[in-house]
Amino acid sequence: MHEIEFDRIDRKILAFLQEHGRASNLELAEAAGLSPAQCHRRHRRLEEAGFIAGYETRLAPARLDLHVVAFILVAMEKGHIRDLSKFTDLVMGMPEVLECYSITGDFDFMIKVIARDLKGLSHFLIDKLMRMPGVDSVRSSVCLEEFKCTNALPLPE
């Protein structure tokens, strides 16, 4: 990763991109107060320096008949350190898993999953997750209502 000077113009570019990922270079340049050529160079420089991890489209789950979001805590069996990488490899390949984190505390992992309905969530928990090697216990919480869901990061002043 390149070390670059990060200034207020870079913050403007990144802030605008977080809100308007499909913006044209002209729109981005106007928002940053730069010429299109200058903006294009800065945008590419930010990508090359690793400030921009990627681009994605956020879909509407309800339109795809996915109505249940759950947060699941997973405890691994004691002494199954060798199963941790097997667990993460398997989880990475599960389309229901939206996020997975290794955490501190009484549990080893926290995962966010999405399912069509409670029956689909039950199938995921019982037939997939709880049958994985090294999994000792799980605790799930179903999301009742989403108030904020974003990947936008707070940018330093």
Is 156 within a domain? no
Residue 80 banded pLDDT, cuts 50, 70, 90: low
| Residue 66 shares a structural domain with residue 136 | yes
Which class for 147: exposed (0-12), middle (13-18), buried (19 or more C-beta within 10 A)? exposed
**Going by DSSP bridges, is the β-strand pair 135-142/97-102 parallel, antiparallel, or unpaired?**
unpaired
| Residue 68 shares a structural domain with residue 28 | no
Segment 136-149 shows an average pLDDT of 96
| Residue 71 shares a structural domain with residue 126 | yes
| Residue 68 shares a structural domain with residue 98 | yes
Is 153 within a domain? no
Provide the edge-to-edge strand list for the sheet that holds 68-76: 97-102, 109-115, 68-76, 135-142
Between 3 and 104, residue with greater pLDDT: 104
| Residue 65 shares a structural domain with residue 127 | yes
Q: Note whether 140 and 125 are within 8 A (CB).
A: yes
Residue in the block written with tokens 């309905």: 117
Looking up residue 28, the CATH number of its domain turns out to be 1.10.10.10
| Residue 127 shares a structural domain with residue 89 | yes
| Residue 41 shares a structural domain with residue 79 | no
Its domain, for residue 65, covers 61-142
| Residue 40 shares a structural domain with residue 83 | no
Is 133 within a domain? yes
| Residue 27 shares a structural domain with residue 70 | no
Is 147 within a domain? no
| Residue 72 shares a structural domain with residue 42 | no
Q: Note whether 118 and 55 are within 8 A (CB).
A: no
Segment 116-142 shows an average pLDDT of 96
| Residue 136 shares a structural domain with residue 65 | yes
Is 103 within a domain? yes
pLDDT exceeds cutoff 90 at 82:
no
Q: 26-55, pLDDT tens digit by residue?
A: 999 999 999 999 999 999 999 999 999 999
- Give residue 156's pLDDT: 83
Domain tally, the chain: 2
